[in-house]
Amino acid sequence: MNKKLTEKLASGHSTCAGCGIPAIVRTVLGATDEPVIVANATGCLEVTTTIYPYTAWKVPYIHNAFENAAATISGVEAAQKILLKKGKIQKKAKLVVFGGDGGTYDIGLQSLSGALERGHDFLYVCYDNGGYMNTGGQRSGATPYGASTETEPAGEQSFGKAKQRKDLMEIVAAHGVKYLAQACVSNLRDLEKKAKKALEIEGPTFLLVLQPCTQVWKFPTSQYVSVGKLAMETNFWPLYEIEDGKYTINYTNPNPKPIERFLETQGRFKHLFKPENKHVIEEIQKTVDANVERLVNKVKE
């Protein structure tokens, strides 16, 4: 493995075969040559990189509970200001938080909101795999409409998750954050570009990165890049930025593939291809189309 890619996160971890989380972490941390301090909410990344007494981290690292990663990094940022003022350090380190969607959309949303509102200088990276994967695949606020999960399974009385996923980008944008962006693990060049920009901006910044989960989405371990690409090519997951309130679309497919192409790759959606669930796929397609139209209108505004 390229030495530069393992300078801050070693290859000695235990993420699942076919997991893209390490690629996300290495890409984000590799986007700066500055010293970095990482806070990590409980989740897949934490449990697979810090198996006692070992660690895969080569930077200062703080493990936090699900709910308080943003609060912890707020304290680190405040401490750095005082140490700099007292002359005990000559330079502040870059501060980066990693959290899954369970620790970001749901359990950690309150502390994230507080940190954003207070204006602390840090980058928050949410690797979004659409569920509580570390604890068995329960639904989260990021779980797509119609997906079958451990806590909202498909069956005779249900077609899976009955609610739409949260629009976390808009929730974060409502805090007046200077820069936030949506990215995908299948396009690491785009992610690196956005991470560099985010890390150079003073104040809170945010990256939402799609991370297909081979275990709970139920697809072969070699296919996470392909599944991520289909998410983009069907416009299920457009790539865009919001900088000082201005929207920029980095990628949407002008001739999108039907959403079925993305759904059929994953076991969590297989029940939707029964005749009685055709309306669910139609609703998903409508939502995807409406979301792209909304983004286009935001750009025009």
Question: What are the residues whose beta carbons fall under 8 Å from the beta carbon of 180, sequence distance 6 or more?
Answer: 169, 172, 173, 198, 205, 206, 207, 208, 241, 242
Per residue in 202-247, pLDDT (tens digit) is: 999 999 999 999 999 999 999 999 999 999 999 999 999 999 999 9
Residue with tokens 């493990």: 63
Q: Which pairs count as long-range contacts for 85-93, CB under 8 Å and 24+ apart, including other chains?
A: 91/35, 92/121, 93/34, 93/35, 93/36, 93/37, 93/60
Q: What are the two backbone dihedrals, phi and then psi, of residue 216, each rounded to the nearest 5 degrees? A: -100, -30
pLDDT of 4 over the 80 cut:
no
Helix or strand holding residue 98 (H, E): strand 94-100
**pLDDT score at 37:** 98
Peptide bond into 53 cis (omega under 30): yes
> What are the helix (H) ranges across the chain?
21-29, 44-49, 69-85, 109-118, 168-173, 188-200, 224-233, 259-263, 278-300
pLDDT in tens, 27-51: 999 999 999 999 999 999 999 999 9
How many Cα atoms sit within 13 Å of 94 on the Cβ side? 22
pLDDT at 17 over 70: yes
Distance of CA 29 to the CA centre of its chain: 15
pLDDT tens profile 167-184: 999 999 999 999 999 999
What DSSP line would sit under 236-290, residue for residue?
SS-EEEEETTEEEEEE--SSPPPHHHHHTT-GGGGGGGSGGGHHHHHHHHHHHHH
pLDDT of residue 2: 56
Q: How far apart are CA 112 and CA 44, in angstroms?
A: 19
Residues 115-120 have a mean pLDDT of 98
Q: What is the pLDDT of residue 12?
A: 82
CATH superfamily to which 3-300 belongs: Thiamin diphosphate (ThDP)-binding fold, Pyr/PP domains (3.40.50.970)
pLDDT (average), residues 8-14:
90
pLDDT at 168: 98
State how far the Cα of 30 lies from the Cα of 23, in Å rounded to an integer.
10
Instruction: Indicate if the pLDDT at residue 134 is higher than 60.
Output: yes
The tens digit of pLDDT for each residue in 142-162 reads: 999 999 999 999 999 999 999
252 pLDDT exceeds 60? yes
Neighbouring CB atoms inside 10 A of 299's CB total 12
**Does the pLDDT value for residue 7 go beyond 90?**
no
| For range 112-131, the mean pLDDT | 98
Query: Above 70 in pLDDT, residue 18?
Result: yes
**Per-residue pLDDT, 11:** 86
Share of the chain above pLDDT 90, in %: 94
- pTM score > 0.85 for this model? yes
Which two structure tokens, joined as six digits, stand for 83? 């140490």
**Do 184 and 232 meet the contact criterion of CB atoms below 8 Å apart?**
yes
Checking if the pLDDT of 1 tops 70, the result is no
User: What integer pLDDT is reported at residue 166 of this predicted model?
Assistant: 96
Domain ranges of the chain: 3-300
Other C-beta atoms closer than 10 Å to the C-beta of 30 total 19
